Structure 1
């Protein structure tokens, strides 16, 4: 069976119909990652293969035995919580809990004590610029290009987006795209990696602190990732993910202030390494949490995702989430054509103008109108939804008015 998962040596691995069901590693990743990790037909020692799932194993209360192969410290901390009456459906990823907590504690301290610091304002501005670059990598690259194939990009733009995404310092592109496609296909179910029905904290960051729900692992096998596995840019990113992340997310953003305007390494790291990184993470997470809980549903009132202008501004245009879940293949991820609340669309339009982005997909006006009338909650006019390019020409409007008068 394993041989069927391996292509000829030197060629990129591809998904096959025959899979090892239930194969998961210590991070909770499922079989499609095994395709990436298997070498010469040998499964690494840290991969646990379960040949099949039974009905009882996929129940909400089932926890795969492989999830219990944690360190002594992890088991000890989990036991302490259990003694306090605190239990979780899935085991806790204590490494993630620790790192996320430390990052936020440091960032919060720096923000609250900022006036007394000697960090240069240029360094703060540089951190903002780096955050924008990383944001475009997430929204324009991982999300709209690779997860939804909402447009096509030539090789130079794909490389640029891959590098920009790495600046953001999130999971590998492969993992991000896989989780996002699962999220859309099984939204607000146990198979959704960040199911908002489990509360704000879980959908915002808690899902990263726990091992995946068995349903995420099981249903994840139905997600087609062959296009991702065949993309040499993503394969390069996957192969060199750790060194790329260390260099582009942390070292380079810190080194430029140090060598260009004599910032100290400490403040360069704190401002452009930690604070910028934490803000970027939370802006992305807010799409999974805030944009699924608080806002309007002008396009489909039956689903959780909402339109939230605050998230749209912070996440470079990703807050128009009710629309996005109805039309996930629209490259704008919104009906709004206003660049002020959708900077990612401006980014894509710019590269479309120079020929690097093409085949930009979007629904017709009539398709959107019929959807609003049939499923919307009546709030369609709250944000003044319109496309500037679809507004009538003033000359045509004048002629129409004259015709009516006659």
Structure 2
């Protein structure tokens, strides 16, 4: 058999394999690898030999909370979804806190997030969960993405925001100054702990803040319930909310993305919702967007009905009446009396109760007394008003339909 001229030779296949191996390191974003993985690993090792002082611990908690809220309430709810409006001092605070969180600029972050919402669980989603937990969590940052594939979104409003563009322009110096130099300087000059300031208040604090944000892209798409929409991966989970400043009710958020709340029940954990409401009371925020209760309940009921329909679809509800064969009353009598089949008519439908004779709670006698008869009145209350459970069970015994509906109609 003659080989095709277009078929690659063993030498060509080997060259292609070598090219793939050599190209693989080029796919890695080495800067992100250093900041997201290498530097935290180094800091974790150094922490073994660096005592954590109380002041440094409190400083770390403060910066962690400040930067986390800046990303959640600022980057996410304010700029990505415009779920409320804020005064310039509050917006500037978020811009500085976001820079200290080392999560890129507001413009970059919001652009990716808007694409995530517009193209959820598709190839155009920058951190699509359907590509795997690791990809959604950090993989999309560790490996370079083809920007031609990622979906395009409109960020004109961000380009017109002077604070957004100022932060975007001076991001690197702001990150170094606020993310590293400021906490290190405070720890050094206030209680002489420059090493702790670097290890705990800077590197490890940034690492933990990163993981909290990444959980919204990964964990929030893998664990929890879907009370509003199950067509995509986002889930509602208290566990995720505890790690992400209240961003764990992700199914609600993807269903109602421009609602300033992530949790709508009073008992659900969403500190940023409470903070935004407080800022409104203080005059720092306004125009808080929220969906009407009725609209939210519509989606909840629709989803609940959908889930019930799925559960109902796997149950035996009996042969649909419209597909049953139609027989005459005389035929029913012949089958029941002449052939000895255990057939009973109820509401015009013929039921074969043979296998249920020994199972009837009232005993075999009561069922046998109805064989070959129209027992509609008896079943519906003549002797005992049967429950819906009995009605459902009876439906699984359908075998035919009486033409005209029953014994009386057949003699008209």
* Equivalence for 1:345: 273
* Equivalence for 1:118: 51
* TM-score scaled by length of structure 1: 0.67
Inter-partner Cα distance in structure 2 for 1:294 and 1:261: 42
* TM-score scaled by length of structure 2: 0.67
Deviations 1:361-390 (A, max 9, x none): 1111111111011124769xxxxxxxxxxx
Q: Given the alignment of the two structures, is residue 323 of structure 1 paired with residue 227 of structure 2, yes or no?
A: no
Any unmatched runs of 5+ in structure 1? 1-78, 380-406
What is the 5 A alignment of 1:235-384? 235-263=165-193, 265-338=194-267, 341-376=269-304
What is the 5 A alignment of 1:5-404? 82-83=20-21, 91-109=27-45, 113=48, 117-217=50-150, 219-220=151-152, 223-263=153-193, 265-338=194-267, 341-376=269-304
Inter-partner Cα distance in structure 2 for 1:349 and 1:258: 36
Inter-partner Cα distance in structure 2 for 1:353 and 1:80: 63
1:276 to partner: Cα distance: 0.5
* Equivalence for 1:37: none
Higher RCO structure, 1 or 2 (CA under 8 Å, sep 6+) = 1
Any unmatched runs of 5+ in structure 2? 1-16, 309-412
1:81 to partner: Cα distance: 9.5
Distance 1:81 1:277, change over 3 A: farther
Inter-partner Cα distance in structure 1 for 2:147 and 2:180: 34
> Rg bigger for which structure?
2
Paired residues of 1:190 and 1:213 also in contact (CA < 8 A)? no
1:290 to partner: Cα distance: 0.4
Inter-partner Cα distance in structure 2 for 1:268 and 1:311: 28
Inter-partner Cα distance in structure 2 for 1:149 and 1:246: 28
1:261 to partner: Cα distance: 1.9
Distance 1:243 1:122, change over 3 A: same
Distance 1:255 1:369, change over 3 A: same
1:324 to partner: Cα distance: 0.3
Give the alignment's Cα RMSD to 1 decimal.
2.3
Inter-partner Cα distance in structure 2 for 1:169 and 1:83: 31
1:110 to partner: Cα distance: 5.2
Inter-partner Cα distance in structure 2 for 1:117 and 1:95: 26
